Each structure stands twice: as structure tokens, then as C-alpha cells.
Chains A and B, each alone.
Chain A
């Protein structure tokens, strides 16, 4: 297999070029001032602002925290000495723990500047709405607990899930269907992992197994992902599995989890995803072939069933100007933004 000529490298190179251009533009923009209001669904309950991960920690590049109300609100002020120069914005106010629907309403009413958009909210946005869209960097996958020992159960569930229906309807065709850990744009070989449902084979696999073995609890981290879990349960039912959706933390047999791709380097990204999913760290691969083999090996026992790769989607108030505020990996880059009506 010749992966060097695959779209994987083309997409990766494109993303790196866009990042370089955006960085260069930020260093040369004028200073308009103003406050950018941002709403997010996530709630950080820590005493101090997060310093790792994505989103708010990305602001530390050009802003400094000035106010922190755990779980509710954070205010960042422009760092005069930021690398690449002072940001256009004076402050960034972030309101946490806002449901997606409320965020969408606030954006519609002009009460905020940047909001997260789920599939349903994206569909409801008026025509011409400014939207920031990252590459599909969020892996949605099923992860089995070690106590689910029968590989037939795990494989049957992998075969039962109708990814296409979920992608078309629940995800409104955002992102892509995938049976691989790394997205197609990053690895270039994701299409080699079959994502097609085969309920007949799934039924054959579990036929004859005791009912107790065929009963699986499926934990859901995020309430927004519950419809996906419910659909998986319905698909599993058709295959002869009894999947019950339970809240996360109830010691479920399987979990519906979301993991972010943390690097534009496929090998690093695979290693990061594997660690996040509790899989063994794959050997370092310098080329796509061993990377493919490593990923195939990670997925061999159906401990993890990749389902989708989803992008980060933000709705943006028209008064926000400048280049997109996120990178292809979904990192915040607000230092290059400015808002109309801000301080001259």
C-alpha cells in the first residue's frame, strides 16, 4: 500500500499552511479593541483556570486571566507582551455551562459573539450565518470495559451500529463516518476500516449466547450524545443484544466517549488517542504503513469501536471580524479577531 500519495498528506500539508498564514496575518493586523463574548457548554469546576487541553487554555498564548468564577465565568485580558504582538481584543469573556440551545438563542439575540453549535443548532442557523468549522478532530467511539470478555459481543455491537443513519440524521452529516481511530484527513487510510453495518452477521455472532451475556449497559458521557447511544441500543436490539443506556459513572459495560485528535502528526495523534481510550501505546511509526498496522492492531479485539470523527463548530456573530478564530485542530486563536464597535 502506498500511503505517501494518499489524501492524508495533502490535507495535513493544507492545514499546516493555513496555520502559518493565520499566524502571519495576526502579527500584522491593526488594534481595534473591544470584548469578545464567548459561551461554551463545558464547565470547569477547578479552582484555577485550565492550562491544558483545548479551548480556554489556548487563550494563554495572547491573553491573561483576570477573573475566574469556577464553573460559571472567566475573563481574559489582552496580553500586551504576547508573542506576535498584542491581540486586537481587549478582553475575552467566557460564560461556561451554557446548553447548546441557549447558546444558539443568545447568538440569535446578539447577546454573545461566539457559541458552540451542535448538529441541530447548526441546522437552525439562518442563511449566511458565519460559522467556524475545524477539521473532524473529535473521535466518537464505543469503549468496552475489561469485564466484557466475550469478543463476539464486542464485534456484534461493532457490526450492529448503523453509523450512516446516525451520521445522516443525528449528526446532520457533520464530520464523517469512521471505523478508524484517526480521521481520514489525518491518516489517509481510514477508509480501509469498514464502517458498514452488518446486523445479520452480528445476530449470528451472538446467537446462542445466554441472555445475561447479551445484556450490555452503555454509559454516555454527554447528555447531547444520548440520542446516539439510544440509536446504538436500537441497532444492537436488532442484532439480538440488549443494550441499556445508562448515565456515565454507573459502571457501564461500555461507554460512548469522545476523544480529541491532539496533533497533526498522525503517529503522535494515534498515540494520544490510544492513551485517551485506555489502549496500549502503539509503536512509533515513521510512515503510514506501520501506522496503519499499529492502528489495526489497536482495534483488533474490538475493545474500542470508532464511530465518527466530528469537527468543532462555532457560530459567530457578524460583528466579529478577522480570520477564523479556530485552527483545523479546533484550537482557539482569538488574538487575530476584532469586534465592530470596539474601542478605537
Chain B
């Protein structure tokens, strides 16, 4: 991963995190604000409904008081015989818009009942309890009807005349019709649970739908237990509703019902959804903009670094004079200037090093030349001095001494010529002329040339040639020279004789050539310096043989290595691709 990518990634993460945090904070605070507004709205709706409910109660009170104050009620109250009036309640209820009406004599006997006409003569003892019915207003009551028990909102009025009293108990059933007649604000609905049986009975839920039962049941049960108002939000998403569950108590403070005022959260949810979508859109745009700016910023920041990296790569590739621009005075500019100083210093040091190495090489060459030339010069000097001494002191022996001295001089001169030839060969190493070469044949022919020399050195030659080997592009002359040098090296490494093994093996698209001896072997330090020019472990070596071998192998884009340990011989391995 590039520096720019990493920087862009960091910037992107930072931008995304920042935008997400801001988006969350804004959304959350907005949602809380809307929740507060929704709660206020719901409370307003509940208050409005309470007012409507109270208004209905007042209407019932007015109707009941109107009946109680009517002439008909007074007539019934003062009548000694109630029987003619058993059907009066129905007409009075109809005239005053009441669903329920009972006219009850002062002794608690029902004179007439609109909701259950057959109940005349039955007792309504609860009316005779000491109570100020006029000031009580409307209240809830459990009402028995022919088709079952119901919940009603009733008021009680009294008509008194001639020392006789008539109770007028009238009201409305709290049923689906009553609920639907209430003026409800938009998005609001009302459910009523009639708490007429122990426990929870789904049939007593009025105004709702079948799917409401499992939703509101826990709420109703909580109100049944705690007998106080509870507000809960039920459901999820746009179908969620906030329910205000209000306990409805009778005149004896017994829990007769639970009024569930539901306020739909659809509007709030949709508003929140719009806000969320807008927020996400803004956040996405912000993130994209942030990423684009990050892209631009990272490009701007990493451009000098990239130039530095390119320059460093050029330096690594050998272009020591590579420099970078230092566009600014910041850290990157300082780094660029330091880099430029570093490359200038490197160039200078390299030149100094090359010069030093060149001097060292000349010195080494001079030392080697002096060493190599000194050895044959000394016999030359001795031979010439012997010849001079013989001519002066032993003229009769001069002829013989001259003959022997001339032979020695010729031999040493030949040795000098050989030394000079080797240096000359190393100096003028030609470029390889590539052609298909069969290394198996090359090894066989070379070993055949060395047979007398191997026999003389008591070295047994062993060729392990891979028959699968195919011709490889190489310069046959130079590769023969490489093999000869390695064989000579091996012979020199085995002064007491031994075994020379030359092995070929096929590589993928190439060849491996191994030359092993059973000589004294090399130390690791010797192995490390073995291919250094003019380095030798032999008394009379020039130190150029293996340097030439390495040079040829390098010219063939191959690789040479040595494996050896003291006392275990050595193996030179050449891989050509």
C-alpha cells in the first residue's frame, strides 16, 4: 500500500467518522426535539379529548337535570301510582338524546327504564345511598342490559314534589357508537376497555381492531394493577402509536374501564425519515467532498515524497547525481534539501572511493607484478652471475655452465612471458559470442585434454553428465576456459591426488555445471574472498583464475557459487539460464 493510499485512507476514515458523528448528533438532537414536540402534541390531544369527554358528561348532566326538572318528572314523583309511567323513560330519553334513562321512585323502585323496560319494579338501591348527585356530575357506572353488562357514563338528578322524590338516572353507553361520536383530532383514535370482568377479556375492548388486542393488552393489565395513567409507544415505524391509558373509575372509585387514547406517530416518523434521508444525503455528499479534498490534499502532500522516492530509486539504480526540487520551506522541503545534500555527498564520496580503489588496484597490481616478476628474475640474476663467475674463474667449465645457464634463462623467460600473458588475458576479456553449446560434450572434450595432467597428479576424473541436458546459449571458448580454470584449480587443490567430479544437470531453460574436488577445502572467509581478483591461496597463483571465471559467468548472466568446508573438498557450481 502506497504512502498516498494510506494517507488517503486515514483522511477518508477521519472524514467519514467526523461526518457520521456530526450526522448522528444532529439527527439525535433533532429526533429528541421532535419527540418533545410529539409528546406535547399528544398531551394536547389527550387534554382535548378529556375536555370533549367532560363536555359529554356535562351534556348528560344537563339532559338529566332537564328531565328531573320537567313537569313529567314532577308528575311521576307526586303520583301515588307509578304503573301508568312505566314506559315514560323511553320517550324522555329519546327526547333528551339519552341512550340510558331510568326513573326511580324515592324508595329505589324502578318506575320506568328506557334501556330495559321490563325492569320496572326492580330496585336500584345504589341511588338511595347518601350522595350529592347534583354536584357529582357525570360518572361511570357498570350497567346491566338485557344483552349483557356494559359501561355507561351517567348522571343522576332528582325531582322532588310533595315530599316525594324521583331519581332520574340517565346517560350514554360507552360503546363503539359513543366513541365514534366523539370529535377527535386528526391522527387520533380512542379505544375503550370495559373492565367488567376479572382479568383481561378481548371482547371488552371497544373501538379497536383484532390486531389491537395483543398490542394493548399489557398496557391495560398494567393500568388494572397500578390504577393510574400510563403512556407507552407501541409498535414500530410508521405504524407506531403512542397510547395514553387512563383509568376510568366509578363513583365508588372502582376501576370500571381503561380509556386508550392513541396518537399516531406516522407524521413524526415520516418527518424523522425525511430528516434522516436528508441527513444521510448531506453526510454522503460531505463524505464524497471530504474524500475528494483528501485525494487532492494527499496528492499535494505526497508529490514531493514521491519525487524523493523516485530520486532515491534512481540513486539506488546508480544515478548518484539524482536530485529533487525543494518547493517549500516545510519539512518536505528540508527533507528534499537534505536528500540533495546526501546525493551530492554520495557522488563526492564515490569519486573519492573510486580514486582510492583505483590507487589501491594499481598498488595491488604493482605488488602482484613485483611479486610475480621477482620470482623468475631471481633465477635469472643467479644464472647470469654463475655464468660470469664461471667465465672469470672456471673458463674451462664456462661452456657447460653457459649451456645450462642459457636453458635456465630461457625457461624463466618463458615463465615471465606466461605471467605477462595472464595479465594480458584478464585485461582484454572479450564479450561472449553466444551459440548453442552442449555442455556434456564440452565437459567430455575438456576432461580428455586433461587426462595426462590428471594422471600425473594422481587425480581420478569422474564425469556425471545429465543425458536430458539440451544445448544452452553460451560462448564455447569462454566456457571451455572456465572449465579448464576450475579443473586446474581442483588439481592444484589435490597435491596428494584425489577425485575430480564434473557434473552437469538440466535446469528449467538452463544448465548447472558442478566441479568438485576432494582436496583440503576452504574456510568460509576464503570462500568469501575467492572471486576477488589477485586473491589466491596458492603459492604461485596470480589470483586471476577464479576472477576470470566469475567475469565470464557474469557476462553469460549466470551465477557462480562455492560450497566447501575445511578437509571436505570444494564444489564450484555454475547456473546458466
Residue among A123, A165, A227 making CB contact with B121, cutoff 8 Å? A165
Q: How far is the CB of A104 from chain B (nearest CB, A)?
A: 14
Contacts of B407 in A (CB 8 A): none
> Please, what's the 1-or-0 string for A253-273, where 1 marks a CB less than 8 Å from any CB in chain B?
000000000000000000000
Interface residues on A, range: 10 to 19
**0/1 interface trace, chain A 160-184, chain B, CB 8 Å (1 if under):** 0010010011101100000000000
Question: At the interface, yes or no: B87 with Cβ under 8 Å from chain A?
Answer: yes
Asked whether, in the complex, the Cβ of B120 is within 8 Å of the Cβ of A165, the reply is yes
> What A residues does B276 contact at CB under 8 A?
none
Closest chain-B Cβ to A165's Cβ sits at a distance in Å of 5
Contacts of B117 in A (CB 8 A): 227, 230
Residues of B within 8 A of A298 (CB): none
Residues A170 and B84 in contact in the complex (CB < 8 Å), given A230-B117, A230-B118, A231-B118: no
Interface residues of B in 77-91 (CB under 8 A from A): 82-84, 86-87
A165 neighbours in B (Cβ, 8 Å) = 120-121
Select one of A162, A170, A173, A233 contacting B86, CB under 8 A: A170
CA distance A326 to B289 in the complex (A): 109
Q: Max chain B CB contacts within 10 Å: which of A169, A227, A230? A: A169
**Which of under 10, 10 to 19, 20 to 34, or 35 or more describes the interface residues of B?**
10 to 19
Contacts of B146 in A (CB 8 A): 230, 233-234
Q: Is A42 an interface residue (CB 8 A)?
A: no
B118 and A227 contacting across the interface, CB-CB below 8 Å: yes
Nearest A residue to B147, CB-CB = A244
- Report B59-117 residues with CB < 8 Å from chain A CB: 82-84, 86-87, 116-117
Asked if A123 and B84 make an inter-chain contact with CB atoms under 8 angstroms apart, the answer reads yes
Q: Does B119 contact A (CB under 8 A)?
A: yes
A120 within 8 A of B: yes
Chain A residues with CB below 8 A from B86, complex form: 169-170
Q: Which residues of B contact A173 (CB under 8 A)?
A: 83
A227 to B117, CA, bound (A): 8
In the complex, what's the smallest C-beta–C-beta distance from A284 to chain B, in angstroms? 41
How far is B85's CA from A170's CA once the two chains are assembled, in angstroms?
10
- For chain B residues 421-473, which have a beta carbon within 8 Å of chain A? none
How near does chain A come to B147, taking the closest CB pair, in angstroms? Answer: 10
Cα distance A231–B146 in the bound complex, in angstroms: 11
Residue from B82, B118, B121 in contact with A233 in the complex, judged by beta carbons closer than 8 Å: B118
Point out the residues of chain A lying under 8 angstroms from B82, CB to CB. Answer: 169
Which residues of A lie under 8 Å from residue B83 when comparing CB positions? Answer: 168-169, 172-173
Q: In the assembly, what is the distance between CA of A234 and CA of B116, in Å? A: 9
Q: Is A162 touching B87 in the complex (CB atoms < 8 A)? A: no
B residues in contact with A227, CB < 8 Å: 117-118
Contacts of A170 in B (CB 8 A): 86
Smallest distance from the beta carbon of A204 to chain B beta carbons, Å? 21
Complex alpha-carbon distance, A172 and B87, angstroms: 12
A68 to chain B, nearest CB (A): 36
Contact in complex: B84, A234 (CB < 8 Å): no
Q: Shortest distance in angstroms between A221's beta carbon and chain B's nearest beta carbon? A: 18
Please report the C-alpha to C-alpha distance between residue A173 and residue B86 in the assembled complex, in whole angstroms: 13
Complex-state Cα separation, A120 to B119, whole angstroms: 17
Residues of chain A contacted by B118 (CB below 8 angstroms)? 227, 230-231, 233-234
User: Can you name the residue of chain B whose Cβ is closest to the Cβ of A229?
Assistant: B118
Contacts of A230 on B, CB cut-off 8 Å? 117-118, 146
Least CB distance from B517 to A in Å reads 120
| In contact, B87 and A120 (Cβ under 8 angstroms) | yes
Interface residues of A in 228-242 (CB under 8 A from B): 230-231, 233-234
Q: How far is the CA of A230 from the CA of B82 in the complex (A)?
A: 19
The residue of chain A having its C-beta at the shortest distance from the C-beta of B120 within the complex is: A169
Shortest distance from the beta carbon of B542 to any chain A beta carbon, whole Å: 131
Chain A minimum-CB-distance residue to B111:
A169
Contacts of B84 on A, CB cut-off 8 Å?
Answer: 123, 172
CA distance A172 to B81 in the complex (A): 10
Give per-residue flags for A173-204: 1 if the beta carbon is below 8 A from chain B beta carbons, else 0.
10000000000000000000000000000000
Residues of A near B122 (CB, < 8 A) are 234
User: Which residues of chain A are near B119, meaning CB under 8 Å?
Assistant: 234
Chain B residues whose C-beta falls within 8 Å of the C-beta of A162 in the assembled complex: 121
Contacts of B87 in A (CB 8 A): 120
A140-165 interface with B by 8 A CB criterion: 162, 165
Q: For residue A239, give the distance in angstroms from its CB to the closest CB of chain B.
A: 14
Nearest A residue to B112 via CB reads A169
- Per-position 1/0 for B138-159, Cβ under 8 A of A: 0000000010000000000000
Residue of B nearest to A162 (CB): B121
What is the CB-to-nearest-CB distance from B125 to chain A, in angstroms, rounded to a whole number? Answer: 15
Interface centre among B83, B84, B118 (most CB of A within 10 A): B118
Chain A nearest Cβ from B156, distance in angstroms: 23
User: How near does chain B come to A164, taking the closest CB pair, in angstroms?
Assistant: 9
CB distance from A99 to the nearest CB of B (A): 15
Chain B's closest residue to A124 (CB) is B84
A169 to B86 Cα, complex, angstroms: 7
Tell me the minimal C-beta distance from A177 to chain B in angstroms.
14
In the complex, the chain A residue whose C-beta lies closest to that of B86 is A169
Which residue of chain A is the closest to B82 with respect to CB atoms? A169
Task: Name the residue in A120, A162, A227, A234 with the highest tally of chain B Cβ atoms < 10 Å from its Cβ.
Answer: A234
Within 8 A of A (CB), among B388-445: none
Q: How far is the CB of B137 from chain A (nearest CB, A)?
A: 30
Q: Kindly report which residue of chain A lies nearest to residue B119, judged by CB atoms.
A: A234
Tell me how far the C-beta of B207 lies from the nearest C-beta in chain A, rounded to whole angstroms: 27
Cα distance A36–B397 when bound, in Å? 208
Closest chain A residue to B144, Cβ basis: A237
In the bound complex, residues from chain B placing their C-beta under 8 Å from that of A234 are 116, 118-119, 122, 146
Query: Cα distance A230–B147 when bound, in Å?
Result: 12
Task: Report the minimum CB–CB distance from B459 to chain A (whole Å).
Answer: 126
Closest-by-CB residue of B relative to A234 is: B118
Quick one: closest A residue to B81, CB to CB? A168
CB nearest neighbor in B for A232? B118
Complex Cα spacing A231 to B117, Å: 8
Closest CB in chain B relative to A167 CB, distance in Å: 9
Measured in the bound complex, the distance between the Cα atoms of B146 and A234 in whole Å is 8
Inter-chain pairs besides A169-B83, A234-B146, 16 sampled, C-beta below 8 Å: A123-B84, A169-B86, A169-B120, A169-B121, A170-B86, A172-B83, A172-B84, A173-B83, A227-B117, A227-B118, A230-B117, A230-B118, A231-B118, A233-B118, A233-B146, A234-B116
5 tightest CB-CB pairs across the interface, nearest first? A230-B118, A231-B118, A234-B118, A169-B83, A169-B86
29 A-B contacts (beta carbon < 8 Å): A120-B87, A123-B84, A162-B121, A165-B120, A165-B121, A168-B83, A169-B82, A169-B83, A169-B86, A169-B120, A169-B121, A170-B86, A172-B83, A172-B84, A173-B83, A227-B117, A227-B118, A230-B117, A230-B118, A230-B146, A231-B118, A231-B120, A233-B118, A233-B146, A234-B116, A234-B118, A234-B119, A234-B122, A234-B146
Chain B residues near A (Cβ < 8 Å):
82-84, 86-87, 116-122, 146
